[in-house]
Amino acid sequence: MNAESILEISGLTTVFRIGDREIVAVRDLSLAVATGETVALVGESGSGKSVTSLSIMGLLPRGVGRIAAGTLRLKRKTGEVVELQTIGGDTLRRVRGNDIGIVFQEPLTSLNPVFTIGEQIAEPIRIHMGKSRQEALSDAIQRLEDVGIPDPHRRARQYPHELSGGMRQRATIAMALACNPTLLIADEPTTALDVTIQAQILDLLGRLQKERGMGMLFVTHNLGVVAEIADRVAVMYAGSLVETGSVARVFSHPRHPYTKGLMRSVPQLGTATLLREAGTPLPTIAGSVPSLMDLPSGCPFAPRCPYRIEVCSEAYPALADAGEGQFSRCIRWQEI
């Protein structure tokens, strides 16, 4: 494992059983996140972003989804390197609360309605860090303060339904950070929130990531958010990673026709895009995403691609090295 990496995914292929068929939701995905770096995973609905994050976290639906190939290496806080696809049960639960923090789109999926906010943040601190109930509770109050919740002593005694949506998402961030993880996975953490709150939560995550020097994998469908928060970007299409590189590089010189199409259809990146309505889909490109049940042979983007030539419909393209850390899964990347 590379010395700077906190997470290294290599050749990840995740499949789902649907009736008597198996569909490939993520195909041969390789991606690394370094300490202190934010990597955005971006793509349209159904492109495989969430399946990638569920694969990392060991949260694929049992009996339905499975990792068919690949390795997911994580460097734990102790420096020990574990392969997430092979460890199970208790070790995986320990890694999840302790080394990897997770923030989902909908705070109410992470928060339990019958426990106070303070109890819920204190629990992983007790379990994973071996602190007493009292110590854990005072740490929990500190975490609430860290995420900008005013009057944290009072808030700690409240139940999730007593907090606004934005405050609840701050509380889940406090919970994700409870044990000082070195990797944070944020899966559409701002999508369910009002637009003004979205910007605040994004600022908060960016600040916490920098202050703590964590690695962050940020899943989003919003290119404005990518521009705002990420150092590097990985673009997914129909289960494949089609382009990756630094945000500066990929946004100024996209080397895959799909990325280029996405960039062209965004008039102005930055706050304007960010402040579009929550849940706005990525800008449209003519045609539609193919069904995973019925993927075309060859390049999955070929049917919609203005650069398509005959061979594109025959062979699945390899990731080509476009230099300066940029890679494109297009055989014509030099012409784009």
Q: Which residues bind ligand ATP (CB under 6 A)?
A: 16, 18, 23, 25, 43, 45-51, 61, 64-65, 221, 292
The answer to whether 125 and 139 are in contact (CB under 8 A) is: yes
Helix (H) or strand (E) holding 244: strand 240-246
CB-nearer residue toward ligand ATP: 16 or 115 = 16
Q: How far is the CB of 249 from ligand ATP (least distance, A)?
A: 23
Beta bridge partners of 17: 22
Helix (H) or strand (E) holding 25: strand 21-34
Q: How far is the CB of 20 from ligand ATP (least distance, A)?
A: 13
DSSP state of 9: E
Rg (CA), the chain: 20
CB-nearer residue toward ligand ATP: 51 or 74 = 51
CB-nearer residue toward ligand ATP: 65 or 224 = 65
CB-nearer residue toward ligand ATP: 60 or 92 = 60
**Angle subtended at Cα 278 by Cα 272 and Cα 281, rounded to the nearest 5 degrees:** 85
Report the candidate in 190, 139, 140, 130 with the shortest Cα–Cα distance to residue 166: 190
Q: How far is the CB of 237 from ligand ATP (least distance, A)?
A: 10
The structure tokens listed for 79 are: 């420096």
Q: How far is the CB of 12 from ligand ATP (least distance, A)?
A: 12
The structure tokens listed for 67 are: 């990792």
- What is the distance between the alpha carbons of residues 325 and 123, in angstroms, rounded to a whole number? 41
Helix (H) or strand (E) holding 154: helix 152-156
CB-nearer residue toward ligand ATP: 38 or 52 = 52
Q: How far is the CB of 78 from ligand ATP (least distance, A)?
A: 31
Q: How far is the CB of 191 from ligand ATP (least distance, A)?
A: 8
Query: Chain centroid to CA 146: how far?
Result: 22
CB-nearer residue toward ligand ATP: 51 or 149 = 51
